[in-house]
Amino acid sequence: CCKIYKGQRVVKKLSDRETAQFIRTTAVPPATRKKQICNIHRTNDFTQDPMLKNLQFSIAERPLHMEGRILPAPELLMDAPVQPREGVWDARRRLFYRGADINTWVVMNYNPRFVDQRSTETFITKLLHMADEKGMKFSEPVAAFGVRTPCPEQDFTRLKQEYSNLQLVLVILGRGGDLYARIKRTGDTEVGILSQCVQATNVTAIKPQTLGNILLKINAKMGGINNVLSRTGMPMILERPVMIMGADVNHPSAGDGESPSMAAVVASYDRFASKFSVEVRPQPHRVEIIQDLKEMTKNLLRSFFIYTKGHKPERIVMYRDGVSESQFQEVLSYELKAMRTACTETEVDYTPGITFLVVQKRHHT
């Protein structure tokens, strides 16, 4: 009999359910977290702790107080100006800035035991009604059917053959399993069909807020624009052609010593910085520097040229995530040089200003 001692850290990747539970447990409001920390201090009586006394450590009873300020929220523009309040804005009676046109789409119910045909039809009717209210041109689906033995690899291939101009597949999913990852891998990288997954519970218990959130995703995926910054909220940098880039490298989970790391770079290609192209590359295991950044940047610049009908960005702003302080100089010298080379290889005298920003979230200040 093997017994595992409690309290040990698990280094393997968490399941979807475990990840959701972890987020629910740790995502608490700042005021609640402050109260929890103060309670820890009070119940442990750190002022009388002999180890802290020997180390000559002292912990104040109250947190440090500092003066702060709240930055003004930028005004958004949909069919009319929208002013965010306390980090949120009410878009219930607003039209999208630019609604997408969806003419050919399919609904696949991968959970027919829980969601029957009538529930599916009711959900579709309400989704289309709200889409019309949001300014989208959303036609009835060309097909809606249940699948008792889901196989995205076969299902998406068959749909592509039956409907050559298929724009979107809406998939109703149950909880757990690997279907979501398989759907995205098949649709995005193998067959070339956009997908939108919806949990079965959101189909049977329809809420207007949930429908609105789903339409925000669908509209953006299908080439629409949900909202932009209004003229009063537009930063100066967007007054001239600029390309906003973001980059990160995703590494395999702990215990995986073979799988490649995946580098992803996105870049805006419209004047509102609301539409983005993406480039993804595999690279050697746990290598943080983006190996093929030059070619990725050239492809992203090409997308900008095509969409803006020949205009080039006068400035490039790169937001780089996932770089530790010990890697700053190495990443900067390699990746900034790769971006600059991409520009000169695109056009000999093309030297836009480049701002390279490293984004750090876990700084523990």
CA distance 325 to 302: 32
- pTM attached to this predicted model: 0.83
Q: State the DSSP string of 109-157.
A: ES-TTTS-HHHHHHHHHHHHHHHHHTT-EEPPPSEEEE-SS--HHHHHH
CA distance 339 to 315: 12
Reduced to 3 states (helix: H, G, I; strand: E, B; else coil), residue 279 is strand
| R_g of the chain, CA atoms, integer Å | 25
Q: Which of 332, 346, 329, 328 is nearest to 243 (CA)?
A: 346
Whether 214 shows a pLDDT value over 80: the answer reads yes
The torsion region of residue 135 among left (phi > 0), alpha (psi -120 to 50) and beta comes to left
Question: Percent of the chain at pLDDT above 70?
Answer: 99
Question: What pLDDT was estimated at residue 247?
Answer: 97
Whole-number average pLDDT of the chain? 92
In tens, the pLDDT along 32-69 reads 999 998 898 888 888 888 888 899 888 888 888 899 89
Whether 277 shows a pLDDT value over 90: the answer reads yes
Q: How confident is the model at residue 146 (pLDDT cuts 50, 70, 90)?
A: very high
Reduced to 3 states (helix: H, G, I; strand: E, B; else coil), residue 355 is strand
Size (the chain), residues: 365
DSSP 48: G
Whether 364 shows a pLDDT value over 60: the answer reads no
The residue-averaged pLDDT of 193-197 equals: 97
DSSP 225: B
CA distance 56 to 314: 56
Q: How confident is the model at residue 362 (pLDDT cuts 50, 70, 90)?
A: low
